[in-house]
Amino acid sequence: MVKRPEKEGGRETQEKQWGAVLGLTFVLALVLALLIVWLYRPSEPLVLSREPGEERVAFDLPTVLAEGTSARKAYQLAAREALAWQPDARPAIVSAHWRPRQGGWSSNVVWTFQFYSASTRRLAVMVVDGSQTQLLQDVRSPYALPTFEDEDWQIDSREAVQTWWNNGGGAFHTTHSDVNLIAQLRVLEEADGRLVWRVTGVAGAQVRQVDVDGATGEQLDIQAPKTGE
């Protein structure tokens, strides 16, 4: 779609004292060296090569995106409720919205899952907030919805968001103070029926979108269908 030094003593009291002093000196030197590395680390983002002649800027993924509740983790809770709702329930859409907060994003992300039951032609909308799952809607669907199996979904949300971040999302965030970030997983007809993560950053009228194969993690170039086709 995503981880010492030891001290040796001496033999007599004086030698032990000298050993302790030398050991303490070594530890202090090590701490000082690490501090110097930290203080004087490069402030510029690392430049990674993509293709010959091309460069990509890599930014550190914010903690709120890297360590927050992932889609797969939330899905474990939602799937239990969905199977209790209808035994043949299958996931149709998975989505989340990170709202901007003080130049970053809120750590409280709620995952929304849409499950479809082919036998009853009903759609259930469930949300997972932390460890709590709630059924928001249970309605009859006027048409069949494309669903996917658990084994088809190999790329978690963190990997999809990381791909967005590494492919323009990080730069987009540095140039826009408030970015709404939306991640959605679903089967896309315009992607030849593949399961796709669509990660989109929105800042006013500016949009940065990246599509990621939900099975392989490959970044996709999906062309929007033309009107009338």
Give the 3-state secondary structure of 152-208: HCCCCHHHHHHHHHHHHHHHHHHHCCCCEEEEEEEEEHHHCCEEEEEEEEEECCEEE
Predicted confidence at residue 47, as pLDDT, reads 35
Which pLDDT band, with edges at 50, 70 and 90, does 106 fall under? low
Check whether 153 has a pLDDT greater than 90: yes
Check whether 4 has a pLDDT greater than 60: no
Predicted confidence at residue 103, as pLDDT, reads 62
Predicted confidence at residue 5, as pLDDT, reads 38
Task: List, for residues 166-198, the tens digit of each pLDDT value.
Answer: 999 989 988 987 899 999 999 999 999 999 999
Closest by Cα among 157, 152, 143 to 199: 157
The Cβ-side half-sphere exposure at 17, using a 13 Å CA radius, reads: 2
Asked if residue 69 is part of any domain, the answer here is yes
Check whether 212 has a pLDDT greater than 90: yes
- For residue 50, give the amino acid letter: R
Check whether 108 has a pLDDT greater than 80: no
Closest by Cα among 69, 97, 48 to 156: 69
Find tokens 């658990």 and name the residue: 150
Asked if residue 171 is part of any domain, the answer here is yes
Whole-number mean pLDDT of the chain?
78
Average pLDDT over residues 93-114: 84
Asked if residue 33 is part of any domain, the answer here is no
Asked if residue 58 is part of any domain, the answer here is no
Q: How many domains does the chain have?
A: 1
Predicted confidence at residue 69, as pLDDT, reads 87
* Under 8 Å between Cβ of 183 and 161: yes
Determine which of 25-29, 72-76, 102-106 has the lowest per-residue pLDDT on average. 25-29
Asked if residue 37 is part of any domain, the answer here is no
Average pLDDT over residues 4-21: 46
Own/partner pairs for 84-89, CB < 8 Å, 24+ apart? 85/115, 85/117, 85/124, 85/135, 85/138, 86/115, 86/117, 86/119, 86/120, 86/122, 86/124, 88/117, 88/118, 88/119, 89/115, 89/116, 89/117, 89/124
Asked if residue 197 is part of any domain, the answer here is yes
Asked if residue 53 is part of any domain, the answer here is no
Check whether 66 has a pLDDT greater than 60: yes
Q: What Cα–Cα distance (Å) separates residue 205 from each residue in 76, 166, 170, 178, 223?
A: 35, 21, 18, 12, 20
What range defines the domain where residue 210 resides?
A: 63-220
Q: Sort strands 122-129 and 219-220 into parallel, antiparallel or unpaired.
A: unpaired
In which element (H, E) is residue 13 found? helix 13-39
Closest by Cα among 40, 6, 36 to 23: 6
Closest by Cα among 108, 117, 113 to 71: 113
Q: Sort strands 219-220 and 206-213 into parallel, antiparallel or unpaired.
A: antiparallel
Q: What is the DSSP letter of 12?
A: S
Check whether 40 has a pLDDT greater than 80: no
- Higher pLDDT, residue 189 or 64: 189
CA–CA distance, 105 with 122 (Å, rounded to integer): 34
Find tokens 């929105």 and name the residue: 202
Asked if residue 18 is part of any domain, the answer here is no
